[in-house]
Structure 1
Amino acid sequence: MKLYIKYMVSLRCKLMVKLELEKLGLHYTSIELGKIEIEENIDKALKQKLKSNLAISGLELLDDKKSILIDKIKNVIIEMIHYSEEIPNVNYSDYIAEKLNYDYTYLSNLFSEVEGITIQNFIIKHKVEKAKEFILYDELNLTEIAYRLHYSSVAHLSNQFKKVTGHTPSYFKKIGEKRKSNLENL
């Protein structure tokens, strides 16, 4: 039986789900971001118990098909940007449509209707978050970050970064360095 879980976006979330399944005596065959597969078919009472237990951890067991599809879209994007070694060098709309086996226009309209933002804006926000991570950990310079996240130029990255955060990447880096030095001086 497949179950879909909202807000399951990290390895820690996977561990929380695993613990809850074990507490309820449920056996899983796979646990992925946003989706688990369990061996048993569960009744309404057990499903409600799992739903309640997951809610305590900030996770939500999804029931309705639109919510499940929205969550799948988010998980494809999050996995693509945050967990892939390299972001696919294809049109994001084609990538998402192919991964989910749906028409992109349908996915885009549904996402915008439910989430209040476009898929493109969701992708931009996550690319900026990944850029912030690279900047804070001082792993790559801006040219390398722009290349890694498939921006056409450093200027394009900087523009989107400033629109989302209100700061330039270099100012963001200064803030991060200042915080580090303040913590070290405590």
Structure 2
Amino acid sequence: MSNINVDDQGRVEGYGAFFGNVDSHGDVIDRGAFQKTLTDWHRRGRLPPMLLQHANGPLLDDAFPIGNWEHMEEDDRGLKVRGRLAIGNRRADDVAALLRMNPPAFNGASIGYVSRRFTLMPKGGEIRRRLHEIDLKELSLVSEPSNDLARVRYAKSKRSGDSADNFSHALAQLAASIPA
């Protein structure tokens, strides 16, 4: 399943995390787990950084953001996000190019966080922890997300002009204009 969209202007939207499914670490995020951290971030007047691969590279440049998250909220499915890649920035341009491939060569989203409240589950089961409260530190675009549901669904090509492409763009604009 795919859940991050990207357009030619670098706008990104979708889900950074989902509630109720088991990720590759055995964690399950509960509804409401992001409420406190989102309130705290909004109080600071900003949102967590948009990073590439959780800034896990050997160079200082690897820790620089590749864009900004402009909106984050919990809905019934998970952590819904909207932001913008810094088009013109080398790394953001590389990410956009990888997203535009068919199929995308790069297609995941992943949260960097500290677990504030959680329940350890019995050993031997599929679920290791239930996460009740998360302190969100960053949200990265990644090649292999821990939560397999957080993947790219659509990256709009720079080549526009066909009617399906124009219809998709108009539909995306219409959807973005509807209040949540």
Normalising by the smaller structure, the TM-score range is under 0.3
Q: Calculate the TM-score normalised by the size of structure 1.
A: 0.22
Q: Calculate the TM-score normalised by the size of structure 2.
A: 0.23
More strand by share: 2
More helix by share: 1
**Greater relative CO, 1 or 2 (CA 8 Å, sep 6+):** 2
| Bigger radius of gyration among the two | 1
